[in-house]
Amino acid sequence: MKHYTFLVIHGPNLNLLGEREPAIYGTLTLEDINSRIAEFAKSNNCMVSFFQSNSEGQIIDYIQKNRNCDGIIINAGAYTHTSIAIRDCIAAIKLPCVEVHLSNIHSRERFRRHSYIAPVCIGQICGFGYYSYIVALQALIHYLENNAR
């Protein structure tokens, strides 16, 4: 298996995990989640770079600057439901991208059901808490192994 490098991007308010609505998002902090992702990546011979921002422009700048990676996992938080700019950025860079959510966005308020980002991703994983990121990483590796570009 190739030594892939991935970006893991966390959008607005995910820096507050642990204290933010724990009944919905659980009690793990972002640091806890990142270390579980890093551990899984390491055991699969992959490199992951983590980035969190509350700002749409910073997320876009980070994706553009680091588009020499093999793939992207993104939890865009509320920008999922609003950001045509992040969608256009993902479409522009032509890298495989997986959309992730901790909660099941389809079982919550109606406005969370629509994602601007999902149509330009290879898939969407939601509802499994931190494990959504692990499933996304597995799926991304499987995709790259089976869809040589």
How far apart are CB 114 and ligand DQA at their closest, in Å? 10
Active-site residue (options: 10, 101, 116, 130)? 101
Task: Please report whether residue 105 would count as binding ligand DQA according to CB under 6 A.
Answer: yes
Q: Considering the complex, what minimum distance in angstroms separates the CB of residue 51 from ligand DQA?
A: 15
Rounded Cα distance, 88 and 57, in Å: 12
135: amino acid identity, one letter: V
Q: How many CA atoms lie within 13 A of 118 on its CB side?
A: 15
Of positions 29, 66, 82, 103, contacts ligand DQA by CB under 6 A? 103
Write down how long the chain is: 149
Q: What letter does residue 58 receive in the DSSP assignment?
A: H
Whether 25 sits among the annotated catalytic residues: the reply is: yes
Pairing of strands 123-126, 97-101: parallel
**Spatial separation of the C-alpha atoms in residues 102 and 85, rounded to whole Å:** 22
Q: Which of residues 61-90 bind ligand DQA (CB under 6 A)?
A: 75, 77-78, 80
In the complex, what is the shortest distance from the CB of residue 25 to ligand DQA, in angstroms, rounded to a whole number? 6
- Where does this chain bind ligand DQA (CB under 6 A)? 13, 75, 77-78, 80, 101-103, 105, 112
The catalytic residue positions are 25, 101
